[in-house]
Amino acid sequence: GLRTRIEAGQILFRQGEIPDSAFLIESGEVEVRVRQGDTEVVLSILGEGDLVGEMAVIDDSYRTATATAITDCVLYRVDRRQIGERLVAADPIIRALLEGQLKRYRGALAALQGQSLPDTSTPSEQLGIDKIRLETQLREALAGHALELSYQPILDIPADRIAGYEALVRWQHPERGPVSPAEFVALAEETSLIVPIGEYVIDVACAAVSRFARAGVDPVPFVAVNVSARQLVHPGLVERILARVHHAGLPAGSLKLEITESRALDIELVARVIELCQRHGIRVALDDFGTGYSHFGQLHRLHFDTVKLDRSFAHAMLADPRAMAIIEHLAELGRALRTDIVVEGVETGEQLAELRRIGCRYAQGYLIGRPRALGEWLASA
């Protein structure tokens, strides 16, 4: 069974064996010894509530020591799969730290026995280390203002003018070149690092609106900033956004938030965000509509000012009459709900011509313009 008794003097496991479990000591004492030449060195004496033999289970290796009962003991057997499942589910950075510690411990034990271990790292350890490095570099980039915003124009189709821009964050990585936000935003979201990044993006976007205004662009185009559902759960985030927008003194309607979703929206939370924002002249868009977590239930329950149709629809619209019908009727639905519809990912003149024909109001995509630095748009405005 899982609960086992062993008598004083009995060996629980031997150095060099391949383990199938660790043990939790319920009562009694266990001595852990390691061979050093002809003698044995006592590493530790463990008692009630201690785990013994978990190391080899964690890094899937041989026993580094021998464990012997000093007194009669009652033990619980902890199956290696029980630990393995948790390790697989653990944060990769935590796993890398653990594996690094074990490697050092095994190295120290080997040195004690006059041996040396090859310096290898497991793929999962390497993955975790790469992540720590990237996260550290990202913190550095934020502190050193190495994060930049690119601006992608959004066309008002019937008026044939640029209504606003979407701000897309870019990281110029010293060795890897530009890193996609799809990669580092997810990384930042795993910790509170996403909070200062989000605030930085808001500040830079507010400054961009002011520069359009100072350059005499009239009407002043809006700038839309991406905020992930994961960012919204940080308490006080919206209040801090509002404070920064107030501080910048922007005209109402010139800043927009695009809610992007990496997970299901907390409807009540988002309803509160929308309400607060609208009261302060900030419009809110639902991003990537028609994919993942962005769906009809949210149109019905949340009063978004704008809905952005995922680019897969524009991509399919000319070849697939169903995609075309969805765009056409979403445009109509937008009018009925008084919600702006933006079709994303417009890449060809034919797609734009069709959108114009069916009465679609806004388009975004490489045809209208690629994301570019603010200076380039100011120069051409």
| The pair of three-digit structure tokens given for residue 48, joined into one six-digit string | 């009630």
Question: What are the b/e assignments for 235-268, b being 16+ CB within 10 Å?
Answer: eebbeebbebbeebebeeebbbbbbbbeeebeee
* Rounded least distance, CB 103 to Ca ion, Å: 39
Q: Which of residues 182 and 379 has its CB atom nearest to ligand C2E in the complex? A: 182
> Helix or strand or coil: residue 58?
helix
Q: Which of residues 123 and 144 has its CB atom nearest to ligand C2E in the complex? A: 144
Residue 347 found at the interface with ligand C2E (CB under 6 A): yes
Chain residue whose CB lies nearest ligand C2E: 365
Could you tell me if 76 and 47 are in contact, meaning their C-beta atoms sit under 8 angstroms apart? no
CA dihedral 214, 217, 219, 222 (to 10 degrees): -80
* CB atoms closer than 10 angstroms to residue 16: 11
Interface residue with ligand C2E among 212, 306, 365, 377 (CB under 6 A) is 365
Residue 105 found at the interface with ligand C2E (CB under 6 A): no
Residue window 106-135: x/- pattern of binding to ligand C2E, with contact defined by CB under 6 A: ------------------------------
Could you tell me if 128 and 97 are in contact, meaning their C-beta atoms sit under 8 angstroms apart? yes
Report d(CA 27, CA 207) in Å as an integer: 66
Could you tell me if 135 and 141 are in contact, meaning their C-beta atoms sit under 8 angstroms apart? no
Interface residue with ligand C2E among 141, 185, 286, 331 (CB under 6 A) is 185
Q: Which of residues 66 and 228 has its CB atom nearest to ligand C2E in the complex? A: 228
Residues numbered 245 to 264 that lie near ligand C2E (CB under 6 A) are 258, 260
> Helix or strand or coil: residue 267?
helix
Q: Which of residues 69 and 167 has its CB atom nearest to ligand C2E in the complex? A: 167
Report d(CA 213, CA 185) in Å as an integer: 29
Strand duo 362-364 + 340-343: pairing: parallel
User: What contacts 295, CB < 8 A, 6 or more positions away?
Assistant: 289
Residues numbered 272 to 301 that lie near ligand C2E (CB under 6 A) are 287-288
Interface residue with ligand C2E among 66, 311, 330, 362 (CB under 6 A) is 311
Q: Which of residues 57 and 274 has its CB atom nearest to ligand C2E in the complex? A: 274
* Rounded least distance, CB 185 to ligand C2E, Å: 4
> Helix or strand or coil: residue 8?
coil
Identity of the residue numbered 373: A
Q: Which stretch binds ligand C2E (CB under 6 A): 178-186, 274-282, 316-324, 331-339?
A: 178-186
Interface residue with ligand C2E among 28, 153, 290, 345 (CB under 6 A) is 345
Residue 369 found at the interface with ligand C2E (CB under 6 A): no
Residue window 138-157: x/- pattern of binding to ligand C2E, with contact defined by CB under 6 A: --------------x-----
Q: Which stretch binds ligand C2E (CB under 6 A): 96-104, 117-125, 221-229, 297-305?
A: 221-229
Q: How buried is 162 (Cβ within 10 angstroms: 0-12 exposed, 13-18 middle, 19+ buried)?
A: middle
Q: Which chain residues interact with ligand C2E by CB under 6 A?
A: 152, 168-169, 180-182, 185, 201, 226-228, 231, 258, 260, 287-288, 311, 345, 347, 365-366, 371
